Amino acid sequence: MTERMIPAGDAQVCAEAFGSPDHPAILLIGGAAASMDYWEGEFCARLADAGRFVIRYDFRDTGRSTAYPAGAPGYTGDDLVSDALAVLDGYGVASAHLYAISMGAGIAQQIAVDHPGRVLSLTLQSTSPTGPGGPGRDDLPPMSPQLAAMFASEEPGPDWSDRGASIEALLEGLRLFDGDLPPDLAGERDVATRMYDRTTDVAASQTNHWILEGGGLERHQLADITAPTLVLHGTADPLLPFPHGEALAREIPGARLVPLTGMGHQYPPRAVWDTVIAEVVAHTNRG
C-alpha cells in the first residue's frame, strides 16, 4: 500500500488505504501515543479482502504526521476529531464505518454526535463511558494497581533517541496492558520497531497525547448516538475492566456488546482476529 499525506488544518496527516475505494469505507482510529502501525497490515488486508475499503492513519505526533515539541502540543483534542474527518475528505469518503480503540473511540463517539452524517456505524473497542474508575467515578472499577503506579510515576522515561532502549521501553509498557492471552512477542517487537522507525519524534509521541486539552463527550451525550454500535471489550482489560464495556453498551442506544475472552487493553491480538474480523464485517454490512 502507498502512504499519502493529507492536509488537516495546519498539519499534515499520514494515511494509508487497503482495498477498493468502491467498497464501504472503514476508518481505523487508534489509541493514544500509537501510530497506525499498531493496526497491523495483515489485519487491514483481511478486512479489505472481505469487501471493505480500509483506511488507517497516524495521529499528529505519531508516525509521519506533523510532530510538535514534546510537552508542547500545538493542537487540542478537538483537532484530532477534525483530523479524522480530514482523512475521510482526503480519500473522497462522505461517510464511513468507524472502528476505534481507546482514545480513538472517544474521537469516534464525538464524531458520531457532532457529525452523524459522516458515520455509517461505530465499532468501539477497549473504551468506557467515562474513563478509568476512581474518585468521582465509583460506579465503575478502577485500573489495575500496576497501571495506577505507572501513571503516577515521576521516573524519567528512556532516552528516546536511543533506538534499542526505546523499543525495549515500548515493549515493556505494552506488558502492563496485556490480559490473559499469551503475548505475541515477535509480532509486538516488529510493530514497535516499525513505529519507532516511522515516527518523526518519538519523545513527542509518548508525551503529547496525555496532556491534550479539549475534546471528549459528556457521559449523558452517549444517548445522542444514533449510529449502529458494536462494543468490543476484553474480559481481562487492566485499564478499563470489563464492566466499562458493559456500561458503554447500555448507555448507547441499541449497542451490542461482544466480550473478547482474555484480551487486555490492546489492539486486537492475533488470537482474536477471526472473531473481531467476523464481527466487524457483519456489523458493517449495513450502509
Instruction: Tell me the pLDDT tens digit for each residue of 93-148.
Output: 999 999 999 999 999 999 999 999 999 999 999 999 976 665 566 789 999 999 99
pLDDT attached to residue 74: 96
pLDDT attached to residue 68: 98
pLDDT attached to residue 138: 74
- Low-confidence residues in the chain, pLDDT < 70: 1, 131-137, 286-287
Tell me the torsion sign for CA atoms 130, 134, 138, 140: positive
pTM (2 d.p.)? 0.96
Write down the domain spans for the chain.
Answer: 3-283
Contacts of 78 (CB under 8 A, 6+ apart): 214, 215
b vs e for 131-151, b when ≥16 Cβ sit within 10 Å of the residue's Cβ? bbbeeebeebbbbbeebeeee
> Would you state the CATH architecture of domain 3-283?
3-Layer(aba) Sandwich (3.40)
pLDDT attached to residue 156: 87
Q: How far apart are CA 54 and CA 26, in angstroms?
A: 5
Q: Which three cell numbers stand for residue 62?
A: 505519531
Positions marked catalytic = 102, 237, 265
pLDDT attached to residue 154: 86
pLDDT attached to residue 139: 85
* Distant-in-sequence contacts of 89-95, Cβ < 8 A, 24+ apart: 89/6, 90/4, 90/6, 90/7, 90/13, 90/15, 91/15, 91/17, 91/21, 91/25, 91/53, 91/55, 92/21, 93/21, 93/25, 93/27, 93/53, 93/55, 94/118, 95/25, 95/119, 95/120, 95/287
